[in-house]
Structure 1
Amino acid sequence: MELRQLRYFVAVAEQGGFGRAADSLGIVQSAVSTQVRRLERQLGLVLFDRGARQTVLTAHGEALLPQARTVLEAADRTRTLAAELAGGSAGLLRLGPVRGPGERTNQLLHRLADDTAAFRVALRHVPAAERLRLLRDGELDAAFVRGEPLAPPGVSLLEAWQDPLYAAVPAGHPLAARPALTLADLAELPLRLVERPANPPFHDLVTDLLRAAGSGRPPLGPRFTTLTETLAAIASAAEPSWTLFYEVTGLPDFPGIAVRPLAGPALTTWLAVPEGPPAPVLRRLLAALPAAGSRP
């Protein structure tokens, strides 16, 4: 059984004759007659009473007509969905996001959404190294990573956006009076830096920035734990120290702490994608990214 046979059968039933069906289909009448007879032989049923003046459905034809229409509608929906998938207007994007700033991810998801819900995004929240592994293994379509990550073979990195860095110093320290700080300003103050195993990209970014600024590495302060605990320790410690961070859920307003933007350096967020021509869902993500990359 072929779809065109069902389409010709439905056309004859709706038009009330082979000639009118052929005209509506834009083909010759003999082609319609041949395919309908072939369908009848395959089914072992007579579908039409072919009179001299009119052609009408038999009881078998009446029973078959709704099912034939359902099959043709399903085939049309399949073709439409296939075209949407090929064009990127439908499908599933498996995306590995970074943690904060949340408004960037929310803005991106809003731009990717549509009223039909034919395009969906599945977020996979895992550490950066795991994101890159899943991307390499084909379990993610794209992933965001921060800092200066090392891309595994078969993965390309595209710059998505940049976020400013902030320094937190004791509120009573002379540096707190400045509207912005440089790495040179902070060179002699002990640094509470996140340990590399906890956040390799950010740890390496900070050490590379210090090296590029020519300030070497400032004296290491006490161990960085969480941002909240570290800010509390900086505020209460007898000896001044500082830490460096990027905004995740808003800038902290912490007693005894002055937060100042770090002049110059910024934290880059990259979009990791498979090498080669982008898949349709990835093309849609890339089209939405420029607006999402601008700071809301």
Structure 2
Amino acid sequence: MELRQLEYFVAVAEEGGFGRAAERLSIVQSAVSQQVRRLERELGVPLFDRSTRHVNLTGAGERLLPEARSVLAAAHRARQVAADIRAGADGVLRLGTVHGPGDRVFRTLTELAAIAPRLQVRPRRLPLAERLSAVRSGALDAALVRALPKAPGLELLPVWTDPLYVALPSAHPLAERAELSLADLADLPLRLAAREDNPPFHDLITGACRAAGAEPPFGPPFTTFQETLADIGAGAPSWTVFYEVGGFPDLPRVAVRPLGEPTLTTSLAVLPGPPGPALRHLLDALNRVESTR
């Protein structure tokens, strides 16, 4: 059964004859008659009574007519959805996300909903390596990544930059400064997570220290955020560096100061090549959020 057979059948039923149906469809009458007869043979029932000068529906034809209309309407909706997907107004965008900084991800999704209300976003939180692998395989359409300078087989589109902050004992003389540099902290033990826990961020900090000519000794490793800050406030002088996710901590004997350099870049990892409409909408939303900062 072909859609055009159902379309011809409906046209004949609504126009009351093969000739008028052919005029409506802008084809010859013989083509309409041929396709309707093929449909009748396939279904095994007559759809029209051709015994008089007028063409009338048989009982089977009357029963089939609403079903044929439903099928054609569904086909039309499918074509319209496909057209909207091609235009980026509809569809599903599978996005690998990160936690923070701030509320940018939520604001981006809000902007995206305003730009393309019918575009469904399916956010997924995955470890970095799995996030990148999912983009390469097509399981994700894009993924947000932090502090990543390159990703083989992918293109990284910078979308926003955030400052970094230093936490150090509030009694330390450096805590009196409004902003700190890595050179200021060169002699103070640094608490940094092991490289295998977060390679991009680890490399960002250690690389920036070398570039600044500062090689602070490593102190106890960074464990959890709260535990590390509690140790900084209570233990031997040391410092750590972090980016804002859910506001600044308020712990006794701990001071938080901005770090002048480096900054933290968040990028959108995508497959190489021109972005499709849905990704263009996402980039537009990201740009709108960044421009309102």
The question of a shared fold, defined as TM-score above 0.5 by the shorter chain, is answered with yes
For residues 52-102 of structure 1, give each alpha carbon's deviation from its aligned partner in whole angstroms, at most 9, with x where no partner exists.
664321112101111111211121122112222322223222222112225
1:54-69 equivalent positions in 2, closer than 5 A: 54-69=54-69
Q: CA deviation at 1:212?
A: 1.7
Residue of structure 2 equivalent to 1:186: 185
Residue of structure 2 equivalent to 1:200: 199
- Does residue 1:137 correspond to 2:134, yes or no? no
Letter in 2 for 1:12: V
The answer on whether the counterparts of 1:146 and 1:202 sit within 8 Å (CA) in structure 2 is: yes
User: What's the C-alpha RMSD, in Å, of the aligned pairs?
Assistant: 2.5
Letter in 1 for 2:167: A
Range 183-192 or range 2-11, more displaced = 183-192
Cα distance in 2 for residues equivalent to 1:198 and 1:109: 28
Identity over aligned pairs, percent: 60
Q: CA deviation at 1:117?
A: 7.1
Task: Give the 3 Å change call, closer, same or farther, for CA 230–116 of structure 1 in structure 2.
Answer: closer
Residue of structure 2 equivalent to 1:213: 212
- Does residue 1:274 correspond to 2:268, yes or no? no
For residues 148-175 of structure 1, give each alpha carbon's deviation from its aligned partner in whole angstroms, at most 9, with x where no partner exists.
34413x2121112111100112222232
Residue of structure 2 equivalent to 1:80: 80
Q: SS of the residue aligned with 1:207?
A: helix
Residue of structure 2 equivalent to 1:147: 147
Residue of structure 1 equivalent to 2:257: 260
Task: Give the 3 Å change call, closer, same or farther, for CA 29–116 of structure 1 in structure 2.
Answer: farther
Cα distance in 2 for residues equivalent to 1:295 and 1:130: 31
Task: Give the 3 Å change call, closer, same or farther, for CA 31–116 of structure 1 in structure 2.
Answer: farther
* Length, aligned pairs only: 293
Task: Give the 3 Å change call, closer, same or farther, for CA 213–114 of structure 1 in structure 2.
Answer: same
Cα distance in 2 for residues equivalent to 1:294 and 1:186: 33
The answer on whether the counterparts of 1:162 and 1:268 sit within 8 Å (CA) in structure 2 is: yes
Residue of structure 2 equivalent to 1:223: 221
The answer on whether the counterparts of 1:192 and 1:221 sit within 8 Å (CA) in structure 2 is: yes
Residue of structure 2 equivalent to 1:173: 172
Q: SS of the residue aligned with 1:169?
A: strand
Q: SS of the residue aligned with 1:93?
A: strand
Structure 2, unmatched stretches of 5+, are none
Letter in 2 for 1:159: P
Cα distance in 1 for residues equivalent to 2:258 and 2:29: 79
Q: CA deviation at 1:293?
A: 4.0
TM-score, length basis structure 1: 0.87
Residue of structure 1 equivalent to 2:40: 40
Q: CA deviation at 1:6?
A: 1.1
Q: SS of the residue aligned with 1:113?
A: helix
Cα distance in 2 for residues equivalent to 1:200 and 1:14: 68
Residue of structure 2 equivalent to 1:241: 238
For residues 183-236 of structure 1, give each alpha carbon's deviation from its aligned partner in whole angstroms, at most 9, with x where no partner exists.
22222222222221221111110011112222x211222322112111111112
1:87-102 equivalent positions in 2, closer than 5 A: 87-101=87-101
Task: Give the 3 Å change call, closer, same or farther, for CA 96–226 of structure 1 in structure 2.
Answer: same
Letter in 1 for 2:154: V
Letter in 2 for 1:167: V
Structure 1, unmatched stretches of 5+, are none
Q: SS of the residue aligned with 2:103?
A: helix
Cα distance in 1 for residues equivalent to 2:70 and 2:250: 62
